[in-house]
Structure 1
Amino acid sequence: MTVNQLTTDESAETPVVTGERADLLETLAKHREFLRFTTRGLTDEQAGLRTTKSELCLGGLIKHVTAVERSWVDFILEGPSAMPDFTAMTEEDFARWAEGFRMLPGETLAGVLDAYAEEARRTEKVVAGLPDLNASRPLPKAPWFQAETEWSARRVLLHILAETSQHAGHADIIRESLDGAKTMG
């Protein structure tokens, strides 16, 4: 089976994973939990508050990490066409992208967390079913990527893990600024 033939049939059971895949997924799950933990006991309003000079809020960070994970898993499955061409984005496109960092009217923390959990399940199924973590794809066009560079599925998973970890740290600062609660300590 090639990466192109892989499906994400939601009714299919996730195969048992071992070795490197298990290590990657277990580490990603741990860092997802650090991020989720920063929202414990919060109201929807609190999850949408900015507590620093940054535009970031806890609910928005989780929305962003969910969207990033979704787009990179789509990249593993479909290649660069699954990602936006950042070199061609308009101001309106960037404004919509920025909304992914905020809790919008009508959004709830529970809904944001549910979407994140669903994306985690999808990622785990895709990783479990990949024929080869070395399968590579050319990166999409973006000013921050070197032209004609490819990333393997493994590299993409490491990127998702790094993104999740980085934003879990941001979330810890935001939560501590909100009410003094800490993820650790």
Structure 2
Amino acid sequence: MGEREEFVETLDKHRDLLRRTVRDLTDEQAARRTTVSELCLGGLIKHVAAVEARWARFIVGGAEAMRSGGGDWAAQFRMTEGETLADLLDAYGEVARDTDELVRSLPDLDLAHPLPPAPWFEQGASWSARRVLLHVIAETAQHAGHADIIREALDGAKSMG
């Protein structure tokens, strides 16, 4: 297996853990906050999909492309009126398919762009597509862990235990 397929396989493993966390939930359960955090399970699905899509745009077009598709940052972490868990999962699946295709078709994983200015990024740093993919894997894994805690607080179910 080559490097690109390893990226896709690893990312999909963590996506699956996150998706498994919301199995058999109603929309009401997916929207419920179970901790002092603002996070809910549906919001985490929405957030991770948005972050993955944003970083995929960065890989292709740099920091400027990352800015498109913005909106209300706080709304990424909760389900808003009219959103369903099924729709959020479908949108996440579409983002995942697009990212996987991007990984497989990129001419060079060393292609790099300067990061956008932000206090959490090293000033003047650039990230390669490879580095971005590692970041997306870490972000997805971290949020899958958050989701597991929220789900356990919701009904005792554990996706990782």
TM range (shorter): over 0.9
Hey, what does 2:57 align to over in structure 1?
74
What is the rounded CA distance, in whole Å, between the counterparts of 2:67 and 2:135 in structure 1? 17
For 1:7, the equivalent position in structure 2 comes to none
Residue correspondence of structure 1 range 130-145 to structure 2 within 5 A? 130-145=106-121
- Verify: 1:160 aligned to 2:119, yes or no: no
Quote the Cα distance in structure 2 between the aligned partners of 1:95 and 1:53. 24
Matches within 5 A, 1:1-150: 18-84=1-67, 96-150=72-126
How far the C-alpha of 1:33 sits from its partner, in A, is 0.2
Q: Which has the higher helix share?
A: 2
- Report the Cα distance in structure 1 between the residues aligned to 2:11 and 2:79, rounded to whole angstroms: 24
CA contact under 8 A between 1:84 and 1:140: conserved in structure 2?
Answer: no
Q: Distance in 2 between matches of 1:158 and 1:81?
A: 21
Q: Using the alignment, how far apart are the partners of 2:117 and 2:17 within structure 1? A: 31
2: CA distance, partners of 1:125 / 1:26: 12
Which aligned runs of 4 or more in structure 1 are off by greater than 2 angstroms? none
Range with bigger deviation, 94-103 or 63-72: 94-103
SS in 2 for 1:54: coil
Q: Which amino acid aligns with 1:32?
A: R
| Offset at residue 84 of structure 1 (A) | 3.2
1:151 match: secondary structure: strand
TM superposition score normalised by structure 2: 0.96
Say which SS state the counterpart of residue 127 (structure 2) adopts.
strand
3-state secondary structure, aligned to 2:77: coil
Aligned residue for 1:28, secondary structure, equals helix
Which ranges of structure 2 fall in alignment gaps of 5 or more residues?
none
Q: Distance in 1 between matches of 2:151 and 2:48?
A: 17
1:68-125 per-position Cα deviation (integer Å, ceiling 9, x unaligned) = 000000000111101239xxxxxxxx98101010000000000000000000000011
CA offset at residue 180 of structure 1?
A: 0.1
Contact 1:38 1:175 in 2 (8 A): yes
- Over the aligned positions, Cα root-mean-square deviation in angstroms equals 1.5
State how far apart, in whole Å, the 1-side matches of 2:118 and 2:29 are: 34
Residue 114 of structure 1 aligns to a residue whose secondary structure is helix
Contact 2:17 2:160 in 1 (8 A): no
User: SS in structure 1 opposite 2:67?
Assistant: coil
Question: Which has the higher Rg, Structure 1 or Structure 2?
Answer: 1
| CA distance in 2: counterparts of 1:169 and 1:178, whole angstroms | 14
User: Number of paired residues?
Assistant: 160
Task: Report the CA distance between 1:143 and its aligned residue.
Answer: 1.4
Residues 139 and 151 of structure 1 are in contact (CA less than 8 Å); yes or no, is this contact kept in structure 2? yes
